Amino acid sequence: MKLHGPALRLTVFIGDTDTWHHKPLHHEIVHRAHTAGLAGASVFRGMEGYGASNRVHTTRILSLSQDLPVAVIIVDTEERIRAFLPELDELISEGLVILDQVEVIRYAGRTPGPADDR
């Protein structure tokens, strides 16, 4: 499916030590998004942040953290994202979910030319 135009961005903020059945939670979210046929998902690990606990987690040497922030971002049509939300209800016990209206502009890869063969 080629996504272009109005869409919904789902961002899930969790910790990198959060798990689901002994596997990283972010991995399970991406796996379920892929199984659901959503257009795309990416995981980003934060360098520093805090959440409901109000405790700052950071990568700085003097205050090494075992629970850095992670953002899982999924983009698809509003209908498909909203249909996916019950999956998150099952998986997330602590975290934050944000929904944003976005506009998707899709760029396709270019066809390799003779100069690319070098």
Predicted TM-score of the model (pTM): 0.78
Contacts 24+ apart (CB under 8 A), 19-26: 20/91, 25/91, 25/92, 26/70, 26/72
Domain at 5-104: CATH code: 3.30.70.120
Strand partners, 48: 58
Q: From CA 66, how far away is CA 77, in angstroms rounded?
A: 35
**pLDDT per position in the chain (118 positions), as tens?**
577 889 999 999 998 889 999 999 999 999 999 999 999 999 998 877 666 666 665 655 555 556 788 999 999 999 999 999 999 999 998 889 999 999 998 776 666 666 655 4
